[in-house]
C-alpha cells in the first residue's frame, strides 16, 4: 500500500507541470476570448472533457459549471461523455439536463450538423465517388413571394364531399 501511495505521489508530481501548462492557457483564453473559445482550444489540444470539467469545478469561483457543460455540448462533445464526466464530479443530473436543453436551444443547428458526418456517409471503401450534385441557386425573390393559387385543380378535402 505504501508503494502505491509513493507511486501515486510521484505520478502527481510529474503530471503537475503539464496540468499547470494547459490550465494557464485555458485561463488566459477564458480571459481574452471567453469560455467558448477556451473550451474549444482545450479540446483541440486533446484535453479531455473530464479534465476540463475537473478544472472548472475545482475553480467554481471563476467558472460557471452549468455554462461550461452547455459549452462542452455546443463544442460537439458527445452527450454520454459529458454526463459521465459530470457524474464522476458529483454534478447533478438536473444541472446536466438544463445545460443540454440550453445547448440545444442555442446551438441546435450546429449540433445537428455535427451529428451527420458527411465523410462517413460518402465512404465508398476506397472507390472514388463522383462529387455530390450541385444544388441550383435559389432566387431569394421567389422565397418572398406568396404561393400562387392554381384554379386548374380542385382537391376536395376529406371532410367535404366530392362535388364533381
Interval 56-69: pLDDT, tens: 999 999 999 999 99
User: What's the chain's average pLDDT?
Assistant: 74
- The model's pTM is 0.57
Among 26-30, 134-138, 158-162, name the one with the lowest average pLDDT: 158-162
The C-alpha atoms of residue 62 and residue 85 are separated, in whole angstroms, by 19
Q: In this structure, what C-alpha cell is assigned to residue 88?
A: 464522476
Q: Kindly report, residue by residue over 43-90, the tens digit of the pLDDT.
A: 999 999 999 999 999 999 999 999 999 999 999 999 999 999 999 999
Residue 107: per-residue pLDDT: 85
Q: What are the C-alpha distances in Å from 159 to residues 84, 88, 154, 162?
A: 52, 57, 14, 9
Residue 148: per-residue pLDDT: 62
Q: What are the C-alpha distances in Å from 77 to residues 19, 49, 50, 137, 158?
A: 21, 8, 11, 34, 47
Q: How many CB atoms lie within 10 A of CB 104?
A: 15
The C-alpha atoms of residue 28 and residue 83 are separated, in whole angstroms, by 26
- Determine the 3-state secondary structure of 104 from DSSP: helix
Residue 106: per-residue pLDDT: 87
Amino acid at each position: 500500500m505504501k508503494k502505491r501511495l509513493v507511486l501515486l505521489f510521484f505520478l502527481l508530481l510529474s503530471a503537475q507541470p503539464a496540468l499547470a501548462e494547459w490550465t494557464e492557457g485555458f485561463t488566459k483564453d477564458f480571459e481574452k476570448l471567453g469560455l467558448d473559445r477556451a473550451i474549444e482550444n482545450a479540446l483541440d489540444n486533446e484535453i479531455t472533457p473530464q479534465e476540463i470539467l475537473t478544472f472548472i469545478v475545482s475553480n467554481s469561483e471563476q467558472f460557471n459549471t452549468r455554462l461550461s457543460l452547455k459549452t462542452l455540448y455546443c463544442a460537439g462533445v458527445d452527450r454520454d461523455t459529458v454526463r459521465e464526466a459530470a457524474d464522476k464530479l458529483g454534478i447533478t443530473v438536473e444541472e446536466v439536463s438544463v445545460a443540454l436543453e440550453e445547448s440545444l436551444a442555442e446551438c441546435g443547428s450546429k449540433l445537428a450538423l455535427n451529428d451527420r458526418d458527411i465523410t462517413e456517409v460518402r465512404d465508398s471503401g476506397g472507390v472514388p465517388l463522383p462529387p455530390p450534385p450541385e444544388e441550383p441557386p435559389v432566387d431569394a425573390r421567389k422565397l418572398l413571394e406568396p404561393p400562387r393559387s392554381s384554379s386548374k385543380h380542385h382537391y376536395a378535402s376529406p371532410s367535404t364531399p366530392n362535388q364533381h
